Structure formats: C-alpha cells, structure tokens
Amino acid sequence: MNSPWPLLITLTYVAIAMVIGLRARAGRSMNSLEEWGVAGRSMGPVTLYLLIAAGSVSAYTFMGAPGWAYSKGVAVFYVAIYLAYLALVAWYFGPKVWQFGEQFGHVTQASAISDRYQSPALGALAALVMAIGSIAYAVLQTIGSAYILFVMSGGLIPIWLGVVLVLACIAVYLYASGQRAIGRTNAFQGVLMLIVAWAVGLWAMHSATGGLSFAGVFERIQAEHSEFLTLPGAGGDMSFSFWTTSIVVSMFSFMPPVWTQWMSAASARTIRRSATWLPTYYVVILPMVVVGFIGIFSLPDLARADTVVLEYAMQHLPVVLVGLLGAGTLAASMSSSEPFIHSVSLSLSKDVLQPVLKLSDGVTGKLARLLILPIMFFVVAPLAIAEPGSLVMILLVGLGFASQVLPAFIGMFFWPRASRLGVMAGIVIGFLITTAFTVLWPHPLGIHAGFWGLMLNLPVFVAVSLMTPATHAEVVERFFRIAAPRGFTQRRCSAAG
C-alpha cells in the first residue's frame, strides 16, 4: 500500500492523544501521590466506565485475539469469559477497594496489602511480584504499538524506532498529568476503538461473505476448516487442560492498574454504576475475532498470526479505513500500556523505595513521576524490541506471576485468620514454581505454569497462616467491616486475634 493516508491518520490520533493527555492536569500540581497516582479520587461514572473498559481491552483486541482465532480457532473465546469476569469483579470488589483507599489513605494495591498485614516487607514483595506481570503486559502493548507504526509507514519506521516513539509520547503526558492523563486519553481511545472495531469488522464480513452476518463466516469455517471449531484447534497445541487453567490463572490475577482505577473514582457508587455497564463495551472484541476467522480461508499463509486483521485490511479495505484501524489499534495498545507503566512506577516508589530509603511523601511523589522513564526505556523498550513471543502468550505468562499474590486478597476479603507469614510463604513458593515451570519445564502436563504455582501456593498459605500469629484483631476488624459488612461478626474478628 503506497498511500500516505494510513500513516497520516495514525499520527493524527497520536497528536490528539498527546494534547488530551497534557491538558488533563488543568493547572494542578502533580507532585503528590494522591493527585498523580489516583487523580484526587475525582473521576465520574462515564470517564471511569471508559477508563476501565479501554484499559482492559488492549492490543490483543486488534492483534492478539484475532491472531489466536486465526491460528488456534475457538480457543480465543477464553477472552469472552475473562472480560465478563472482569466486569463482575469490578462490580463486587471495586466499591470495597475504593472505601479502603478513601478511609485508610491507600494509593496502591501493595499499600493496602501492607496495611492489612501490618508488614511493609509483604507490601514490597507483592509490589515486586506484581511488577513482573505488569511489565509483561506493558511489553505486549508496546510491541503492538510499534508494529502498527511499522505497517502504517510501509516499513519506514522500524520496530525499534516505533517502540521509542510510542514510549516517548506516553512518557510526556504521563509525567505531566499522571492518572488524569490516563483517564482522559482512555475515554477518547475507548470511543475510537469501539467505532473502528465495528466499522472494520462489518466491512470485512461484507467483503468476505457478501453479507453482514457472523453466521456466513462460521458456516464456511465449519465446511472447510472444522478443526478450528474444537479444541485443541488446528495446530493441536491448545489442549483443554491448558485452556481451562489459563482461564483460572487469568481470573485470579488482580492486576494493580485495575485497583488504581477503582481508587480514582469519585465514590463507591460511581464504580458500581460504571461496572454495571461494562459488558456493553466488551462487544468491541467480537468483530475483530471474526476477522481472525475470515483470515483462515482468506489469508492461509500468513507468517505471523497477530497481523491477520492488518493484512486483511490492507488487501481488502479502503485506505481511510486502514488508517482508522491503525489509529484504533494504536489506541488499544497505548490505553493499556499507560496504566501498567504508571502503576509499576507508583507502587515501586510507594511500596518498595519509600520504606527502604525512608523517604517523605513529597519526595516519593516526585520519584514516582521520574521513575516512569527508566522503567520505559531500560526495561519495557529492550524487551519489546526483542519480541519474546506471541502477544497473547506474553499476557498469559505475566498473569501467571501476578496470580501468585492471590493469598493476600483472600486474607483481605474472605479469611480473617490469614497471617503475614502465611501470605509471604505462599507467594514465594508460588513464584518459584511458576518461574521453574515457565523457564525450565514449560507448562508440565499441559497445565499453565501459574496454575501449578497456585496449587502449591494456596496449601502453603493456609498451613503457615494457621501455625503463625494472625494480624492484630483491630486491624482485621477495620478491613472486614468494609470487606464483609453483612458477614462480619465480632466472633470472626476475635478468632483472627
């Protein structure tokens, strides 16, 4: 494709996103953790709805998920289960987390863990383990962003330069406006993604089948490539055990940016209203997945499955729509990498460096803003340029590590007897097992490495908790009056002591 329009449209989107992000601060000082980290807890229901939706619908919507549909078939629908679950989690846990933050002054997930178990060391451990999962997610998004610029420029912007350009753009407005920039840009990006996904999807369906019904696509797949409609898929590499354990691991990963989004709301009621409507946004993924299935019979020889939507668009769609697809895909990538980079910087500053170096809140606030630069350019950029695997697989590996912090949340919401040492022991065992079964012996017996970690993590957590002192009863009571207001009793609290 020789037209300059796709690149011009994509770069116009980047310029608009930068203006929105820079203006989001509106003259406020961003040197406090409360303002840069959680936007002064001020976001209304519409902004929060688009913030959560756009943040959870990332590059895999336009690249990873269609790529899995193209290469593995129906296994891709794990995404539908995961997104539905995210909406339920936000509806139930979001208001409670907001109350924790508002009443106890938490600005990060790890600071809530540190407070619940009265252990800065445990907060730091949780922050570091979660940082691995978050970095994996940010790398995934950055790879997607760089690839879009590579394709839209006809190869003039190589992957390494695309990585640097995208991260530099995000760094400018993230440093300037923090969580407010994420909220405003995600709102713009969320609307753009929804419009582009359905426009591209419907056009692609019409060009492939002559109609606008999903049924025509799947009837042809059933007739010509029925192996894509059952597990383990056409490649034979997506067993039922790996598919189901991947879903379980994804469901148990309470990622830090989601926690930060909830604490940025104006009220607990705001979160519940936004979460109630979240499923209406997640239909954004359906047309993109269908384009992936179209690619099975239209583009049988693709070298890289993640590019199926872009390749199909460039061969069959008008140049303006290709440009909008580039902008929409870049929006999906940036809207998800921003909150993950932000949360890693915020949590490492607040939960690791502040207690170790005995920093004041003022210095920690300034440090959090500056820390995004080394995280972006010395960690995310080299990993993204190396392109270590398929987009969805990078995501699943990251979630496998993040899920090992599950015991901390069990003790926060469900089990008053959970102890500091029990949670620590569970996280350490789970992390070691997940690392071994990711690097040395990948996914034994076809079961996800993170699931293996959880199977040892949780029994160790329970056993050590029962053998070691619980957290002080007054602290447990303070949390459980919010976490379980209808089930909380003085007897449970006394049992915890």
Each residue of 432-448: pLDDT tens digit? 998 888 878 888 888 88
**What integer pLDDT is reported at residue 373 of this predicted model?**
94
pLDDT at 415: 94
Q: What is the pLDDT of residue 125?
A: 93
Judged by DSSP in three states, 239 sits in coil
* pLDDT, tens digit (0-9, with 9 covering 90-100), for 163-185: 999 999 999 999 999 999 998 98
Instruction: Give the per-residue pLDDT at 271.
Output: 93
Band of pLDDT at residue 407, cut at 50, 70 and 90: very high
Within 13 A of 479's CA, how many CA atoms are on the CB side?
A: 29
The end-to-end CA distance of the chain, in Å, is: 69
| Closest-CA residue to 471 (of 400, 389, 383, 412) | 412
Cα–Cα distance measured from residue 53 to residue 57, given in angstroms and rounded to the nearest whole number: 6
Q: Which of 101-110, 287-296, 427-436, 480-489 has the lowest mean pLDDT?
A: 480-489
The tokens of 32 are what?
Answer: 């406090």
> How crowded is residue 451: how many other Cβ atoms within 10 Å of its Cβ?
23
pLDDT value for 56: 74
Query: What percentage of the chain exceeds 90 in pLDDT?
Result: 48
Taking residues 108-133, what's their average pLDDT? Answer: 93
Residues 6+ apart with CB under 8 A from 189: 17, 54, 331, 332, 334, 335
Q: Does residue 154 or residue 57 have the better pLDDT?
A: 154
Mean pLDDT of 240-250: 83
Alpha helices in 440-489 (DSSP H): 449-467, 473-483
pLDDT value of residue 485: 61
pTM summary value:
0.86
Per residue in 254-280, pLDDT (tens digit) is: 888 889 999 999 999 999 999 999 888
Higher per-residue confidence, 392 vs 221 = 221
pLDDT class for 223, splitting at 50, 70, 90? very high
The tally of CA atoms less than 13 A away on the side-chain side of residue 356 is 11
What pLDDT does residue 489 have?
A: 52
Chain mean pLDDT for the chain: 88
Spatial contact of 172 and 22, defined as CB atoms under 8 Å apart: yes
pLDDT, tens digit (0-9, with 9 covering 90-100), for 10-26: 899 889 999 999 999 88
pLDDT at 25: 87
Q: What is the DSSP string of 326-364?
A: HHHHHHHHHHHHHHHHHHHHHHIIIIIIHHHHT--HHHH
- Contact 54/258 with Cβ under 8 angstroms? no
- The average pLDDT across 388-409 equals 77
Give the separation between CA 55 and CA 339, rounded to whole angstroms: 7
Amino acid at 63: M
**Cα(269)–Cα(275) distance, rounded to whole angstroms?**
10
What is the pLDDT, as a whole number, of residue 109? Answer: 94
Question: Is the confidence at residue 424, as pLDDT, over 90?
Answer: yes
Q: Which of 103-117, 140-154, 473-487 has the highest mean pLDDT?
A: 103-117
